Structure 1
Amino acid sequence: MEEFRRTYLRLCKEGGVAPQESVVAQLQENRAAHSSRLDLSGKSLSVDTCSVLARSFQTDTIFTEVWLSDCMLSEEGAKVLLTGLFGNTTVKILDLKGNNLRSGGAEVLGKLLARNQSLRRLVLEWNALGVWDEAFSLFCEGLASNSMLTQLDLSNNQINQHGASELALALKHNTTLEVLDLRWNNIGLLGGRTLLEAFQKSKCVVQLKLAGNNIPSDTLKALEQTAGHNSDRQHTLRESHRKTQVLCKEIQTLKDKKSNQYLSLMETIDRQQGEIGRSNRSTSIQIGQLQEALNERKSAVNSLTAKLQMTEAALALSEQKNHNMKELLTRVKAEKEEQREQQSKERKKEQEDCVQRESKLLREIQNLSETNMQLRNKVEEMERRSKSQQNQIFELKQELTNSTAELKLRLSQTEDRLETEKRRSKQALEDMDSLRQKEVEHVNRNLEVSERALQERIFKLEGQRIQLEEELSKAKAVCVTERAQAEEELGRVRAQVRLEEQERVSALEEKLRSVRSSLQEVQLHCSQQKQTISELQAKTSQQSIEMDGLRRRIEELQQELSGKDQEKVAEVSRVRVELQEQIGHLQAERTAQGGLKEKICALEREIKVLSSNHREALLDKESEMSSMLEKLRLKEAEIQRMRADEANRASYLQNAILTYVQGSPLGHYSSPKK
C-alpha cells in the first residue's frame, strides 16, 4: 500500500500534477486497513489524476480490486486510466459503474479485454456503451478474444438489437464467461433470438439476467432454460470430477499402503543383504589385507628379480663391453699392424719415391751434365771453328801475301816485259801502260773488297763466340741452382716423413694406454656385478622361503573362506524361504487389490450409466427445445400482431419504472441514463 502511495506521489511530482486529496486519503485508509481493494467510488477524478493512476497501475502488484463507480470520468480520462490497466496482472475485479462511458470508453474496454489476462469480473452498469454500434462491436471483439473473464455486468447500457447480435457473436467465441447481466437495456425480440441462438451453441454461461429488455416471455423462458441446462451440465461435470477425484484419492491411498508394505519388505531384504554385505566386506578386507601383503611380497620379489635382471643385464652389458673391448683391442692391434704395414709400405714407397726422385735428380743432373758436355763440345766445336776460321784467315792472309808476291812478281815480269816491249814500240807501251794501270786499279779494288769481307766475317765469328760463352755461363748457373733446390726438397721430405712417423707412433701408444685402462675398469665392474649377483641370489632364496609361508597362509584363508561361503549359502537359502513367504502374502494382497480394481470398474460403469442417462436427459430436453422452437415458429405470426401491443406495454412499463426510480432513493442514477 505504502509503495503504491509513494509511486503515486512521485509520479505526480514528476508530472507536475498536484496530488488529489481524496485519492491520497483513500490510499492512507487502505494502508491502515491493509486491504487489497482500492475504492475510489464517488470521487471525481481529473484527467491528470487518471494519467498518474494509469502509470501507477502499470507496475502495481498489490490491489486485486479497483472500484471506480460514479467517478465522473471524462472520455479522455477513461481512455488513459484503462490503457494503464493493459499490462496489469493483479487486478481481478474492476467496477466502472455510472461513469457514462461512450464510444471511446467502449473501444478502450475492448482493447483492455483483449490484452489483459487477469480480470475475472467487470462491472459496467449505468453507462452508455450500446449507443454507438461500431464502438460496441469493438468491445464485443475484445470480449470474444478474452479467456479469463467470468462475470460481466452490462445492465442499463442502452444496448439495442445490433449490440445484442454483436454480443451473441462474441459469446459464441468466448469460453469462460459464466455470469452475464443485461438488465434494463433495449435488446428487443430479435436481439433475444440472437442471444438464444448464441446460448444454444455456447455452453459456458450459467447465469443470465435479461429483465427489462422488451423480450417476450417465451424467449426469456427459453433463455432461462438454456442457462439452466448449462448450469445442470456444469453441476454434473463438477460432480463427476469430484467423484473421480475421490476414487483417485482412494486408489492413491491403496497404492501408498501397498508401496509402504513393499518398502518395508524391501527394507528387511536390504538389511539382510547389508549384513551379508558386511560379512562379505570383512572377509574381503581380510583377503585384501592378505592379498596386499602377498602383493607387497610379490612386489619385493619382483623388484629383486628386476634388480637381478638389471644386474644380469648390466653384467651381460659389461661382458658385452668386455667382449667389445677385446674386439676393439684386436681391431686396434690389427689396425696397428696394418698401420705398421702401411707405414712400412709407405716408407718403402717413400724410399722408392726418394730413390726415384734421386734417380730423377741424378738423371736430370746427368742430363744437365750431358747438356753441359754438349755445350762444352759445342764450345769446343765453336773454338775449333774459330780456330779453323782463324786458320782460314791466316791462310787467306798468306794467300794475300802470296797473291801480292805473285802480283809483285807479275809486276816485275810485266815491267820486264814492258821494258822489253818498250823497246819494241813506244806506242804499244803507252797502250800497255794504260791497260796495266787499269788492271792494277781493278786488282786493288778487288783486294780492298776481299779484305773488307774477311774483316766482317771475323767480327761475326767473334760475336758468336761471345754469345756461346754467355750461354755456357748461364747453363752452369742453372745447373747449380737446380741441384741446390733438389737437395733442399730431399731434406724437407725426409723431415716431414720423420715427423709423421713420430706422431702416428705417439697416437697409437695413447690408444693402447686408454684401452688398457678401460679393460681394467671393466674387469673391476664385472667383479662387483658378480658380488651383487651372489647377494641377490641369497636374497631370492630367503624370499622364496617367505613366499612358501605366505602360500600356506593363503591356503588356510581360502579354507576359512570356503567355510564362510557355506554359511553364507545357508543364510541365503533361509532368506529365500522368508522371501517366498512374503511373496505369498504379497500375492494375497494382490488378489485383494484385484477385488478393489473390480469395485473401481463397477463404479466406473455406474458413472458411465449415469453419464448415459444424463445424455438421454439432455437429448430429451433438446427434443423439447426443438418442439418449443417449432411452437415459437408457429406463434411468430401472432407475435408480430402483438408487437404494437407489446411496444405500448413496454413504454408503459418503462414510464412506470422511471417514476418508481425517481421516487426511490436511487434517483441520482437517472441522470447518467438520461
Structure 2
Amino acid sequence: SYSGVKLLLHGLCSNTTVKSLDLKGNNLRTVGAEALGKLLWQNKSIRSLTLEWNSLGMWEEGFSSFCQGLGANNFLQRLDLRNNQINHQGAAELAVALTQNASLQELDLRWNNIGLLGGRALLNCLHRNKTLKRLELAGNNIPGDILKAIEQALNHNQDRETILSEAQNQVNILSKEVLSLKDEKNKQFLDFMDTVDKQKEEKVKSERISAARVGQLQEVLDEQHSIMNSLKAKLQMTEAALALSEQKVHNLGELLNTMKQEQTSVAQCHFRELQQQKQESADREAKLLQDLSAASEKNLLLRNQVDELERKCKVQQDQLFQVKQDLTNTTAELKLRAVQAEERLEMEKRRFKQSLEDMESLRVKEVDHMAQHIEASERSMQDRIQRLEAIRISLEGELSQVKAAALAERGQAEEELIKARSQARLEEQQRLEHLEEKLQLMTESRDEAQKCCLKQKEMVAEAQARAKQLSLQADGLKRRLEELQQDLNRKEEEKVIEVNKVKVELQEQIGHLEAERTAQDSLREKVAALERQLKALSSNHREALLDKEGEISLLLEKLRMKEAEISRVREEEAQRASFLQNAIMAYVQGPPLGTHGSRK
C-alpha cells in the first residue's frame, strides 16, 4: 500500500546500515516518488537503488521531487530506472539532477520514452557531470548519433578519470621519490654531521686526555717537591730531637748524680731514725710489760672479789634452800593436822552412828538435843577450819616475803657482779686498745720507712732504666738518621730517574700531540672532501629535481594537448549535433503547403 511504502521510506531516512535497496514492481506513483526524494535528501548509506517497473515518469510532480533529491545526494552510486515511462521532460529534470550530482557512476534508463529531446538533455548534462561512467539508454527512441555522442562523452569521462588517476599516481610516485631523495639527503647530511661531531668529540677527548696527563705529571712533580720538602723538614726535626735528647741525657746524668747523693744522705738519716725508733720501741715494750704486770695483779684482785661474791651467793642459796625446806615442813604439818581433824570427824561420826544404832529408841526423844549438839560441834569445827586456813595464809605470805627478799638480795648481788665484771672488762679493753694503737703506730712507721726505702730503690732503678733507654734511643736515632740519609740519597736518585722518565713521557706526548694534529689536519681535509661530495650530491639532486620538474611539465603539456583535443572533439560533436538538430528540425517541420499542392 502507499502508506506502507511511505512509512518504509520514512524509516529508511535515518538508517545507516542499509547499502542496497530494491523496490521494483511496486507502483510507487506520486507519494512514493516524493518519499524517495526525501530518502535521497536525508540518507547517506544507500549505494544502490533499484526502481524498475514503478511508472515514476507518469507523475511529473513526484518525479521532479525525486530528481531534486537525487541532485542533492552525494552517496548513491548505482540507480536503476528501467520501465518507468520517463518522457523527455522527465529526462530533462533527470539531466539537471545529474549536473548537480557528483557520486552516481551507473544509471540504467532502458525502456522509457526519453526521445530525442531527452537524449539531447542527457548529452548536455554529461559535459558537466564527470563521475557518470555507464549510462544505458536502449529502447528510448533516441537517434544513433546522440547515443554515439553520449557514449563518446562517457568514454571521455572514463579517459579523463584514467588520465587523472594516472597523473595522480605519477605525481604521488614523484612526490614519494622526492621525499625519499630528501630523506636520503637528510640522512647523508646527518651522517656527515655525526661523523664531524664524533671527530670533534674525539679531538676534544684527546685534548682533555693530554691536558689531564700533563696535569697529572705536574701533580706528580709537585708531590715529589712536597715530599722532598717534608723529608728536609723531618731531617731538621730529627736533628733538633737529637740535640734535645743529648741535652736530656746530660740533664739525666746530672740528676742521677744528685739523686745518688740525696739517696746516700737519706739512707743515713733513715738509719739514724731507725736506731732511734728501735730504742723508743724497746722503752715502750718495757713500759708495756710493766703495765701488763699491773693489769694482771688487778685481774687477780678482781678474781678474788668475784670468788667472795660467788661464796656469798652460795650462802644465800643455802639459806633459800633451808627456807624452802621449812616451808615444805610447815605445809606437811598443816596437811597432817587437817588429816587428823578429818580422822577425828570420822571417829565422831562413827560414834554418833553407833550411838544412833544403840539408841534407836531414844532417837526420837533426843533428836532436838542431838541436832543442837551437832550444830554446835559443826560450828566449832568450822571455826577451827577457818583458823587453820588463816594460819596457812599467814604462813604463805611469810614464805612469799622471804622469797621476795631472797630474790631481791640475789638480784642486787648479780647486778654488783655484772657491774664489777663490766668495769674490769672495760678497763682491760681500754688498756688493750691503747696498747694496740701504739703497736699499730709503730708498725705503720716501720712500714712507711720500708716503703720509703723501696721507693728510693725503685727511683734509682727507674733512673738507671731511663738512662739505658735514652742511650738506646740515641743509638736508634743515630741509626734512623743514617737510614734517612740513605733514603734521601735513594729518593734523589729515584727523583732524577722519574724526572728523566717524565721528560721522555712529555716528549712522547708531544709526539702524540703532533701526530694528533696531523690526524686532525687529515680529518679536516676529509671533512672538506666530504663537503665537496655533499655539494656535488646536492648539485646532482638539483639536476635530478630539475629533470623531474621537466618531465612533470612535459606531462602537463601532454595533458593540455589532450584537453585541447577533447575540446576540439567536443566542438566538432557540437557542430555535428547542431547540424543534425537543424536537419531533424527541417525534417520534422517538413516542406511548405504550397509545394505539396503543386505536386498534387
Do these two structures clear the TM 0.5 threshold for a shared fold by scoring above it?
Answer: no
- TM-score per shorter chain, which class? 0.3 to 0.5
TM-score, normalized by length of structure 1?
Answer: 0.40
TM-score, normalized by length of structure 2?
Answer: 0.44
